[in-house]
Amino acid sequence: MVGFLLGRVQTYHRVEGRPDPIANAIQSTILPPAAGLQGMMSGVNHFFSGLGQTPALQRENEALRQRVADFKNFEAREKALQQQIDALRKLSKLPPEPDKTRIPARVIQFSPHEARMTLNVGSEKGIKPGMAVLQGDGLLGVISTVSSGESQLNLVTSTQVRVGGMIVKEAVAAGLVRGQGPDSLVLEFIEGTVKVDVGDIVITSGYSKQIPRGIPIGQVESFEKEISYGNRRARLVPMARVGSALEVYVLR
């Protein structure tokens, strides 16, 4: 009888659209501690599943430690190389980059066929089209498009890129550097008097607001004189190693 009455009370409240007081009271008493118990059981479960995965976790930990050690080695090597570059710059009497800030960036996409890379910095860092991108101290490319959080650069080896370049010796041999393929550049000289040797370093001429003078572009691999057109050109090996470009700098 009492059970039947309880059922009637329950049905009455449900029909009225109100919560059933009896079930509500029971649930309010039992469900909170049950939730606590479930949380505790979940913790115990995680503990035991963690014990079961110990060998795998140890292997993963070992691999991560190895990666940290590799990264530290890489950092130390990069620092040593940077010091070497600085020393070479002083020896070559290359001018520092005036009024420019190096914005570190990470390469997040590389399209070798289009000679284009995407960087993880964009307009929020003040990046603008035309800015130079360096790998180490060598010119890697020129920013072409910028959006928020990302920017794209055309590699210096891209046929779309033209950069003023020069060889500084006893006299200046200036010209225009353009890309000719994945690992080849050409410097077409404007003037035809200065002697050029294999091994000469070509730097940016600085006849641009955004690309300062003195950034190494490439090294002369061969030199030729086109008698029919009357101009001289040098084939260059780019200073930047495109295939290994992961961390770069944008000159802002």
Partner 1 sequence: MKATTYIFAVLIGLFVAGVLQASDRWFTVFGARPLFILVFVACMGMVNRPAWGAGAGFLAGIVEGSLAGANLTQYVTSRALTGFCVAWVRSTDLQFGVILAAIGTLLSTLGANAILMIFAPPADIGSFIRATIFSAMYNGVLAMPLFAVLQHFAKPTKV
* Binding stretches for partner 1 (CB under 8 A): 2-4, 6-8, 10-11, 20, 22-27, 29-31, 33-34, 37-38, 41-42, 45
Are the beta carbons of 157 and 181 closer than 8 angstroms?
yes
Q: Is the CB of 40 or the CB of 63 nearer to partner 1?
A: 40
Closer residue to partner 1 in complex, CB, 37/57: 37
Shortest distance (Å) from residue 10 CB to partner 1: 5
Find the shortest distance in angstroms from Cβ 27 to partner 1: 6
Based on CB atoms, which residue is closest to partner 1, 30 or 237?
30
Residue 38: CB minimum distance to partner 1, A = 5
Buried b / exposed e over 160-189, threshold 16 CB at 10 Å, is ebebbbbbbeeeebbbbbbbeeeeebbbbb
Q: How far is the CB of 2 from partner 1 (least distance, A)?
A: 7
Q: Is the dihedral of CA 140, 88, 163, 211 positive or negative?
A: positive
The upper half-sphere exposure of residue 21, i.e. CA atoms within 13 Å in the direction of its Cβ, equals 6
Q: For tokens 């997040």, what's the residue?
A: 108
Nearer to partner 1, 41 or 63 (CB): 41
Of 40 and 108, the one with the shorter C-beta distance to partner 1 is: 40
Q: Measured from the CB of residue 29, what is the shortest distance to partner 1 in angstroms?
A: 7
Structural contact between residues 148 and 215, judged by C-beta atoms closer than 8 angstroms: no
The H or E element containing residue 103 is strand 102-111
